[in-house]
Chains A and B, each alone.
Chain A
Amino acid sequence: MTRRKKMLQQLDNDIREHIEHETQDNIDRGMTPEEAHYAALRKFGNVARVKEQTHEVWMITWLEQLWQDVRFGVRALRRSPSLTVAAVLAIALGVGINVGIFSVLNGLALRLLPIPRANEILSVNQVLRFRGKGLRYINNNSGYFSWSEYRDYRDHNHVFSGVAAYQPYVEATLAGSNPRSILGAAASCNYFDVLQESPALGRGFGADDCAAAGANAVVVVSDAMWRNQLGADRALIGKAIVLNRVHYTVIGIARPGFTGTEPIPSAFWVPVTMSAVLEPDEKRLANDNMSWLAMLGRLRPQVSPEQVRADLDVIAQRINQQYSGRTTSLSIHTARYLSSPEERQFLIPVSSVILAAFGLVLLIACANVTNLLLARASVRQKEIALRLSLGAGRGRLVRQLLTESLLLSMAGGILGSIIACWSFMRLTGFITSHLPGDFPPISINATPDLHVLFYALLLTFCTGIAFGLVPALQSTRPNLNSSMHGDGAAVGGKRRRRFLLKALVGAQVAVCMVLLMAAGLLLRGLYYAQTVDPGFEIKGVATTLLNLSHQGYDAPRATQFMTRYVEGLSAIPGVTDVARAECAPLAHDFSGDHFTLQGSSEQIPIEYNHVTPSYFSLTGIPIVRGRNFTAAETHDASGVIVTESTARRLWPGQDPLGQTLRETSGHVRTVIGIARDAQVAHLGDSTSNYLYYPFGPEDNARSYVLVRYAASFNDVSNGMRTAALSIDPNLSVDVTRLEDYLEVWRAPSRLVAWLSSTLGGLALLLCSIGVYGMVSYSVSRSVREIGIRLALGADKGAVVRLVLWQSMRPVLIGGIVGIVLCAAVSSVLSSMMFGVGAHDPIAFVAVPCFLLGVALLATLIPARRAMDVDPAVALRCE
């Protein structure tokens, strides 16, 4: 290419020089300059055509040859339709599932936000580090900013045309005949302007909506909420809706495609200054040291990423000076869903594992196609040998064969991608709408875009090369003499080809083994999750989360309500025990703090819960030493109860009772009791640090009510709802079984187990086709050998045993390699999925046996054909 460019660069110049030379000659012969010039031009001929022809000298070969190769390839593929169809289907399957899963991941993490000119929007996150001791309050995501930090960045940067901030996932109760809890966002008042998102009806926020804290009760609602909950009333603008008991005037209805800037759609947006009213207990606006606002900036034209970083770093340095020992590093990315460092840290390893697993299936499919092509290469050997002996270059032939395999992979890739994009779009829609109730409704846009197209093209191209290269090199190996003779005299070549076939099948079995083992481990994990004993009595407990502060209660009213409510609950027939806690067991609701031991400065993270004394009897977690809390103890009491494992870990070999723990705030707590270990915070984990505080009136604003019952759940849950509504008819009360929380823990395992079993199944299918193909091929190739053996008196059983042994050897070797590989991979899996043991003996024994059984079956069917060889026929035909 470069040579071509170099040669053609000066062609114009050369031609001009040539004509000048000729002109000069003509002048020397006595012509006038003008005459001389025209004569020279005449003699030179058509300049444009000469240039064109010279260009063609360099062009012609590769383009024309490519076209030749394509035409030839199409003809060759049409001549063997069954092979073409089989190969195209295998590739379509392999490429299709890969493109499909990529389109889902793309929708989750690569796609830009669904707003105008989204490529200009940058998401800014901060990673704070402290030298020595540092304190930071975190809400949602440690990369977020405080209100004052946000204003600093907004007012002092020179690189953004606007910076917006918002608190995602704000829960609020929408009043109505059937009060319900909805998710929205508290956004800065330039939110809609910065995103250039103008509401379909009404207006977005204006600067004066954020003028004073808690003063402007206005709301923009999402299109979905407007349609589903507010009756699609076009006259809604200017009317009020009630969120957490406060009236908000609806000023706008968002565009249908706009669901906010987080993967979980937002139902409403209120000015960030209303945070003080929406959640009155949290003094977030005033807390300069709390991460709670996500920040998005719209880039000014012609500003480079380096400039952004430099500019914002200056502001970060200035803020750092207010806190001793604090350093801030900013992470700045084009805004996408899940773009914060915290989220990426989780997403990248998970998606790599997923893509790798899907890639393995494609690899198996490739091996199958390679096998097909190798088998066909032996049929085409004469043709290729003829062409080689007629002087075709090997490189040229390889190129031609590769063109053929690229044609195959293109056909398969296009077919697979189209089917995949169509079906995965529907599939994700189906899965996201059928997640268990406690799962937030994630919106994944799996429609294909340029990323997906590029991925599909890359994959298709690599696939074509991957399965085509070996057969192309193998079949053009110059070995003219023997192949021209026609039959299997070329023993060396044949042996090499058979070895290749066997190596491929071995590799297939290895990869298949890894996938099946992973599926086996995950299924075992799922089984374990279904049957696990969490260490406390999870059955027969009903629970409800009452977030009274969200429903407009202040502290005294909340306490008043809860006192009456607990009385009411005890009166429900069938209720045997009532307890309350800050976090219900396994509710995905965690609190934690760092503690220091006496005489040590080491910071120990411990999760905690605030519970009433009855919590332990209700959940069946015994206090094994010391005493339970008393009803009189509240947050002021200094006593705490720790779990057995925590006691063992913190005070090995000492009596834990009476030991002290210092909180970050400086309070010192004394251990008064030891509770038995239970998986109350994380399923499958009962031994990490955990402690209990006594419940106090402060917890009334938001707490779980747990009820043990000995009647039907429906009666009890109705009773619980009625009891609440009889005190306050506007409350939203949602009662669930405590065991339903298990479902949320199991759903990911179930999804992953289902996915991996499907993948494993596909791999197994492809792999057994591969084994079957290899054995039938080698049987058909060694008909003569078998004939001779039979003619010499070998018995049929021995022949079959020979074929079986020869074919099962690569399967066995591949299987062992697969097991070894899987032993390496399984520790990664077990760290990511709940309940997966890295060396689960049942999975490690059952899966290989199953795979070997299937392989044996796939071998046995064609091997039996060896028995039917009639020596007379076999010897005569070759």
Chain B
Amino acid sequence: MSTKEQQERIELLQGTLDLLILRTLQLGPLHGHAIAKAIEFRSDEVLQVEQGSLYPALHRLIKRNWISVEAGTSENNRRAKFYALTAKGRKQLSVETNKWEKLAAAIAQVLKPARQEER
């Protein structure tokens, strides 16, 4: 059973990055570097994503048909791959967001009394 737990933990971590990517792409298609920048910027640079880990995540999302790829040119006129949300990905984003909010609320609920006790 230990393998299963481990898998779930990895799933959770991956899921978080996946969620962030999906959310970022909701605003429109972006290329890889721009996604990393956007996540950094929107989290007030709190979330320092190791930029490389973006790529396995992107491919995972492509494979699940949550995002699609197309060729395009970046802001400084270079050829780049643009990633865009698919209909399936949009649906998934709302599901994942919902889940995340519930989880965050639940964890907050659990943590609250502990903070009071400390005082």
Enumerate chain A interface residues (CB-CB to B < 8 A): 7, 10-11, 14-15, 17-18, 20-22, 24-25, 43-47, 49-51, 53-54, 56-58
Contact = CB atoms under 8 A, between A and B. Distances in A.
Given A7-B62, A10-B81, A18 B76 contact: no
B119 interface: no
Contacts of B36: 18
Contact of A17 (B56, B62, B80): B80
Nearest to B33: A21
B51 interface: yes
A50 B59 CA distance: 11
Interface string B74-98: 1010111100000000000000000
A45 B53 contact: yes
A45 B50 contact: yes
A735 B72 CA distance: 94
Contact of A14 (B55, B62, B63): B55
B32 A57 contact: no
B9 interface: no
Contacts of A54: 55-56, 59
Contacts, number: 59
Nearest to A22: B33
B21 to A, nearest CB: 14
Contact of A53 (B33, B56, B63, B81): B56
B63 A57 contact: yes
Contacts of A7: 59, 62, 69
A767 to B, nearest CB: 46
B113 interface: no
Contacts of B31: 17
B60 interface: yes
A366 B52 CA distance: 52
A50 B63 contact: no
Tell me which of A7, A43, A51, A57 has the highest count of chain B C-beta atoms within 10 A of its own C-beta.
A57
Given A14-B81, A17-B80, A44 B51 contact: yes
A24 B63 CA distance: 30
Interface in B21-79: 31-33, 36-37, 50-53, 55-56, 59-60, 62-63, 69, 74, 76, 78-79
A43 B50 CA distance: 6
Q: Which 4 A-B pairs have the closest CB atoms?
A: A45-B52, A50-B52, A21-B33, A53-B56
A743 to B, nearest CB: 71
Given A45-B50, A57-B60, A57-B63, A15 B80 contact: no
A49 B53 CA distance: 9
Interface of B: 31-33, 36-37, 50-53, 55-56, 59-60, 62-63, 69, 74, 76, 78-81
24 contacts: A7-B59, A7-B62, A11-B55, A14-B32, A15-B52, A17-B33, A17-B79, A18-B36, A18-B51, A21-B33, A21-B74, A22-B33, A22-B51, A25-B37, A43-B51, A44-B51, A45-B51, A45-B52, A46-B52, A49-B52, A50-B52, A50-B56, A54-B55, A57-B63
Contacts of A15: 52, 55
A391 to B, nearest CB: 15
A51 B51 CA distance: 12
Contacts of A47: 52
Contacts of A18: 32-33, 36, 51
A24 B76 contact: yes
Contacts of B52: 15, 44-47, 49-50
B31 to A, nearest CB: 8
Contacts of B62: 7
A182 to B, nearest CB: 72
Contacts of A57: 56, 59-60, 63
Contacts of B81: 10, 14
Contacts of A14: 32, 55, 80-81
Given A15-B52, A24-B76, 14 more contacts: A7-B69, A11-B55, A14-B81, A15-B55, A17-B31, A17-B32, A18-B32, A21-B33, A22-B33, A43-B51, A44-B52, A45-B51, A53-B53, A58-B63
Contacts of B69: 7
B53 A50 contact: yes
A47 B55 CA distance: 10
Contacts of A56: 56
A53 B60 CA distance: 10
Given A44-B51, A47-B52, A49-B52, A58 B59 contact: yes
B59 to A, nearest CB: 4
A470 B63 CA distance: 30
A7 B32 CA distance: 14
B10 to A, nearest CB: 12
B18 to A, nearest CB: 12
Nearest to A25: B37
Contacts of B56: 50, 53-54, 56-57
Contacts of B79: 17
Contacts of B59: 7, 54, 57-58
A392 to B, nearest CB: 15
Contacts of B80: 14, 17
Nearest to A10: B81
A25 B75 CA distance: 12
A44 B56 CA distance: 13
B38 to A, nearest CB: 13
Contacts of A44: 50-52
A22 B79 CA distance: 15
A53 B36 CA distance: 18
A344 B94 CA distance: 69
A14 B37 CA distance: 16
A43 B39 CA distance: 14
Contacts of B33: 17-18, 21-22
A14 B50 CA distance: 16
Contacts of B60: 57
